[in-house]
């Protein structure tokens, strides 16, 4: 009798669970009833949105690849050698007969990238076009670099400011060039290396007759390079820039050059740089 009672209680409990489940299902069915089309539209909208996002990601990837390729080809044009007179034996690659011819082709290629693609490729292309314009139309090139030096893209702004400073230096506008080099040195997020800027600034000071200022910059550069150590505690190899600074310091002030720390000796078996 007890077993029968327990069995019946279990059945009643199961039936209560079933009834509760069916009741919930019935209420949900009632709510959904008549809204099937709305739900289908919502689901279709979600699927369409996902498909659109995937398609946009694929398109953007293809655009980035195409823009990078186009910019690379334009840079190749700008780097193509200029050969005047007798061609170099064995050179079968493309060449240009003059700087202006190369600059013209480079400007056209960079301006096409600027026109066809968005940022950041268009910004970089505009910078490279402006740099090459210096050969074709110097005032226009300087104006473009001046405008780009205020670009919202920090990297493009720094590149443009450095190119502008170099152009002004070559035009003997030393005060303006020095001011730009100093501005770049003050920028903590600089895109141009600190030693490159210091070497150019020292050159400008030398041309202005500020020999002591130039010597001080060069001395500090070389001294820091000779004291620098890697993570392993060993001296870092000398770079081409610090070697140039060392040679110029020896030329301008042999007495200050003699006060430099001893140049680190390369480790046994190390290759010279």
Range among 66-70, 74-78, 179-183 rated most confident: 179-183
137: confidence class by pLDDT, cuts 50, 70, 90: very high
User: Two tokens at 72?
Assistant: 């690379």
Residues 75-133: pLDDT tens digits?
Answer: 999 999 988 876 666 667 888 989 999 999 999 999 999 999 988 889 999 999 999 99
DSSP-derived 3-state class of residue 229 = strand
Residue/partner pairs of 189-194 with CB below 8 Å, 24 or more apart:
189/154, 190/158, 191/154, 191/155, 191/158, 191/159, 192/158, 192/159, 192/162, 193/241
Q: Could you tell me which residues come within 8 angstroms of residue 117 by beta carbon, excluding any fewer than 6 positions away?
A: 63, 66, 67, 70, 125
User: Two tokens at 253?
Assistant: 């002030």
Sequence length of the chain is: 273
Indicate the DSSP class of residue 232.
Answer: T
Its pTM surpasses 0.95: no
Q: Is the pLDDT of residue 22 over 50?
A: no
**Whole-angstrom Cα distance, residue 214 to residue 169?**
15
**Whole-angstrom Cα distance, residue 126 to residue 114?**
6
29: confidence class by pLDDT, cuts 50, 70, 90: low
Residues 148-161: pLDDT tens digits?
Answer: 999 989 999 999 99
Is 122:94 a contact under the CB 8 Å cutoff?
A: no
CA 36 to chain centre: 52
Q: Is the pLDDT of residue 177 over 70?
A: yes
**Whole-angstrom Cα distance, residue 131 to residue 121?**
15
| pLDDT value at residue 232 | 87
Q: Is the pLDDT of residue 246 over 60?
A: yes
Counts of helices then strands in the chain (DSSP H, E): 11, 0
Q: Is the pLDDT of residue 251 over 50?
A: yes
**Whole-angstrom Cα distance, residue 160 to residue 155?**
9
Is 113:125 a contact under the CB 8 Å cutoff?
A: yes
Is 45:74 a contact under the CB 8 Å cutoff?
A: no
64: confidence class by pLDDT, cuts 50, 70, 90: confident
CA 151 to chain centre: 14
Residues 188-212: pLDDT tens digits?
Answer: 878 899 999 999 999 999 999 999 9
């Amino acid at each position: 009798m007890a077993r029968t009672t327990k069995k019946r209680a279990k059945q009643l409990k199961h039936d209560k669970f079933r009834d509760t489940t069916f009741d919930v299902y019935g209420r949900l069915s009632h709510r959904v009833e008549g809204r099937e089309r709305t739900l289908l539209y919502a689901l279709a909208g979600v699927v369409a949105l996902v498909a659109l996002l995937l398609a946009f990601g694929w398109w953007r990837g293809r655009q980035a690849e195409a823009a990078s390729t186009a910019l690379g080809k334009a840079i190749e044009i700008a780097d193509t050698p200029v050969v005047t007179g007798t061609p170099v034996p064995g050179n079968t690659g493309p060449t240009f007969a003059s700087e202006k011819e190369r600059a013209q082709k480079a400007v056209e290629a960079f301006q096409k990238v600027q026109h066809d693609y968005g940022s950041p490729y268009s910004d970089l292309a505009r910078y490279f076009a402006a740099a090459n314009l210096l050969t074709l139309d110097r005032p226009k090139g300087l104006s473009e670099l001046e405008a780009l030096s205020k670009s919202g893209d920090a990297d493009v702004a720094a590149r443009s400011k450095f190119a502008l400073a170099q152009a002004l230096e070559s035009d003997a506008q030393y005060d303006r060039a020095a001011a730009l080099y100093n501005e770049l040195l003050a920028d903590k997020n600089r895109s141009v290396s600190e030693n490159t800027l210091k070497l150019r600034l020292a050159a400008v000071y030398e041309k202005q007759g500020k020999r002591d200022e130039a010597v001080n910059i060069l001395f500090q550069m070389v001294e820091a390079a000779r004291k620098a150590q890697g993570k392993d505690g060993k001296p870092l190899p000398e770079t081409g820039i610090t070697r140039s600074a060392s040679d110029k310091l020896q030329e301008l002030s042999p007495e200050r050059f003699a006060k430099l720390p001893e140049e680190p000796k390369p480790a046994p078996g190390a290759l010279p740089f």
